[in-house]
Structure 1
Amino acid sequence: MISEPKILKFARMRKIVILFVISILLWSCETDFEVNAPWKDKTIVYGLLEANKDTQYVKIYRAFLGEEDALMMASHPDSIYYNPGEVGVLLNEYTPSGNLNNTIVLKDTLLGEFTAVNGASPIPNKAYYFNEPLNDAYEYELIIAKKDTIRALTSLVENKLIDESDNSINFMSFINPENYGNMRLSWDNLDNGVAYEVKIRFFYEEFLNIQNGHSLGIDSIEWRLHFGIDEFELDYAGESFFSNVANQLVANDSIKRLPGDLKIIFTVAGQEFYDYYEYSQPSFSVLLEKPEYEGNIEGGYGVFSSRIQQEITRNLHFISKQRLEIDPYTEDLNFFN
């Protein structure tokens, strides 16, 4: 058998490739490709119950899809919110034995507006709320009644004082005040609490830096000390306090500052809230996409959980206040006592 010259094989393959490309182009010219899938009602829920708050809020959105810019579509309330007649929002309260104790009807309200960009109209900030007190020993089931029913169940983080100490905080060593010391904080493990965040807020008052200069007002700065699970104690290096103050305040010769008290801010998250937080963190996996989040919203998306936030005022020890005047980190910030 006589073999075909390579040049003829190449020419024949070239014709096949050209015909294939032409057929693809002709097909694409005659067929409209639909980017948007058929519309489907999808409900998105965000709610965090707090047993120590007087008013509770739940955010309920509807997913939307269209040809316009997303911000422009979101500026139309009926694109992202249900109309009052479309949904009813209830909260069932169950005793530890599982008996229905109460049913609370949530009302809708507007909490101002979200600032829009790119020429879109401001987006209304709509929420559902109620004022009835909560019992941290009970479970609560959110029910969103519409054509289909959305349900979510959560327990409450225990409403108990997490830290009962009242001593002042010193970031310098008591034995040798020239050296930095450590601040030790400990707190209780709250029922249904999974993750614990601890922040510190430092208050100070600013004055015009002249003799008998008048007050310019009280201000504060804040930073995180701790975030974790199954940990109920931390040691915070005293040097970090002064470096954080220096990092957040700007030296200004025209003002002087009087150091004030501290607030220790505890935030304790329930299980569903912590799971949602963990899922929302950046992934360093080789996989480009995360699996779809499977939360506790039956028939919808989002998170319905609980948390407790407590702010405890503690005095800043006078040794630390004096140190702010001369510490290498803060000496140019014009603190005085």
Structure 2
Amino acid sequence: MQYKLLKMNKLFFSFLLLIAFGFSSCETDIDLNAEYKDIPVVYGLINPSDTNHYIKITKAFIGDANAYDLAANADNFNYQDGELTVEVTEYNFDGIFVKTYLLTRTVNEIPKDPGIFDNSSNVLYKFVEPNINKNSTYKLKIYNKTLEKEILSETKIVGINVSDVGSPSTMQIIRLWLGEPYTGLPNELSITVTPNNDIGRLDVTFIVNYDEHYTLASGLDSVPKSVRIPIGDKLAFGTKVEWILSGSTVMDYLVKNVPNPIDIPYFSHRALTRVSMEFNVAGTELSTYMLVSEPSNTVNQDKPSYTNIENGLGIFSSRTKINWVSTAGSPSFPINLDSETIMKLKSLGLGFCFGISATSGHKCNQLP
């Protein structure tokens, strides 16, 4: 018999999402005469940046009714209260026991989005720990009291810091354009990360930040806004992972995705602030799970399944996110973009500007 897991989208997973906690399982190629077999489906990602940690545990199901009708009843895929004992145990870098967390069963603490599966009761198992140790291993044990069955898994914790971003540095001025706005050329920005601590995949987003200002007559306060430019995800092979971001990619994305000023009531200008980046990171087990779950690009559509759950299906791994925030610039020029890049941004016709210097060429002019 084959069991089909609902696939997780690519990282940034919005990582991740990436993480919807709506994960369940149903069965395909079913032998209706076969004896029912309990197959737990486990989905848990420990994020060292979180305090509350959740694990989704459901079961594959079979029945005589239509699969959609079966999925509409949460009793078909949720274990009953008291049926499972769930614990996570921490072991330090040397394999020495540190602590055991006994998880509590929660219902609708995180609401489940509408879909095929019944969302009236979203059951998650939870433990609380604000200080997840990135050098430890966390072992999951699920015990089914009725069947006297153990389901086991373990994961290391992804570890990444802003200091692991080799380039650009937080003190670096970002240069995305060379020369005059209309006759110059785009410049390339190299973004590098040194992967460590069980990192299997990284996804990076470049963020252009600005404050949107309105006319004085409107009485409206300025609003901080941003444009998130996806650069892509890469597997963490070797000692360095690198992305190349072209200035033309940034300019084209802004033109296509920033609303035209003429369509915004009371618009005055968009004052640029420092650009930033966001890195979403997946553990090696999660990365492998995502790789195997990706659609096949070959004629052969049969792909191997992957799970790191003993006596079950699913994934138990780690993920995290870091924000790269620049401190470049000076009190008189508090931005991490160079003047030629700012002039190019101003030329896009989107109302971008920076500063109040009359001689800069990119001065912001507040409309009355």
- The equivalent of 1:253 in structure 2 is 262
- Structure 2 gap segments, 5+ residues each: 1-29, 327-334, 354-363
Q: How far apart are the structure 1 equivalents of 2:338 and 2:262?
A: 24
- Structure 1 gap segments, 5+ residues each: 1-32
Q: Is the 8 A contact 1:112 1:124 kept in 2?
A: no
- Give a deviation string over 1:183-233, Cα, whole Å, max 9, x none: 222222222212222112223333446866624733333232132232423
Among 270, 276, 282, the residue aligned to 2:289: 276
The more displaced of 89-98 and 281-290 is 281-290
Does 1:322 pair with 2:343? yes
Instruction: Give the alignment of 1:35-50 within 5 angstroms.
Output: 35=32, 37-50=34-47
- The equivalent of 1:171 in structure 2 is 176
Normalising by structure 2, we get a TM-score of 0.72
How far apart are residue 159 of structure 1 and its match?
A: 4.5
The more displaced of 275-284 and 318-327 is 318-327
Q: How far apart are the structure 1 equivalents of 2:34 and 2:336?
A: 59
Q: How far apart are the structure 2 equivalents of 1:317 and 1:246?
A: 18
Instruction: Give the alignment of 1:165-204 within 5 angstroms.
Output: 165-167=169-171, 168-173=173-178, 178-204=184-210
How far apart are residue 57 of structure 1 and its match?
A: 1.8
- Give a deviation string over 1:147-185, Cα, whole Å, max 9, x none: 211100111122433337213423122x66743222222
Q: How far apart are the structure 1 equivalents of 2:288 and 2:204?
A: 18
- Give a deviation string over 1:239-269, Cα, whole Å, max 9, x none: 1111111222232514243333333111222
Instruction: Report the CA distance shift for 1:101/1:114 in structure 2 as closer, same or farther (over 3 A).
Output: closer
- Give a deviation string over 1:109-137, Cα, whole Å, max 9, x none: 2244334358x864433322222222111
Q: How far apart are the structure 2 equivalents of 1:121 and 1:195?
A: 32
AA at the equivalent of 2:139: E
- The equivalent of 2:141 in structure 1 is 143
Provide the identity percentage: 25
Q: How far apart are the structure 1 equivalents of 2:31 and 2:159?
A: 51
AA at the equivalent of 1:335: F
Structure 1 residue matching 2:186: 3-state secondary structure: coil
Flag the structure with larger Rg. Answer: 1
Q: How far apart are the structure 1 equivalents of 2:121 and 2:274?
A: 37
Instruction: Give the alignment of 1:1-80 within 5 angstroms.
Output: 35=32, 37-80=34-77
- The equivalent of 2:154 in structure 1 is 153
Instruction: Report the CA distance shift for 1:245/1:316 in structure 2 as closer, same or farther (over 3 A).
Output: farther
Q: How far apart are the structure 1 equivalents of 2:196 and 2:351?
A: 41
Q: Which has the higher helix share?
A: 1
Question: How large is the Cα RMSD of the aligned pairs?
Answer: 2.8
Q: Is the 8 A contact 1:207 1:213 kept in 2?
A: no
Q: How far apart are the structure 2 equivalents of 1:316 and 1:159?
A: 23
Q: How far apart are the structure 1 equivalents of 2:99 and 2:244?
A: 44
Q: How far apart are the structure 1 equivalents of 2:66 and 2:177?
A: 56
Among 247, 253, 260, the residue aligned to 1:244: 253
Q: How far apart are the structure 1 equivalents of 2:271 and 2:66?
A: 50
Q: Is the 8 A contact 1:136 1:159 kept in 2?
A: no
How far apart are residue 72 of structure 1 and its match?
A: 4.2
Q: How far apart are the structure 2 equivalents of 1:131 and 1:209?
A: 48
Q: How far apart are the structure 2 equivalents of 1:113 and 1:321?
A: 43
Normalising by structure 1, we get a TM-score of 0.78
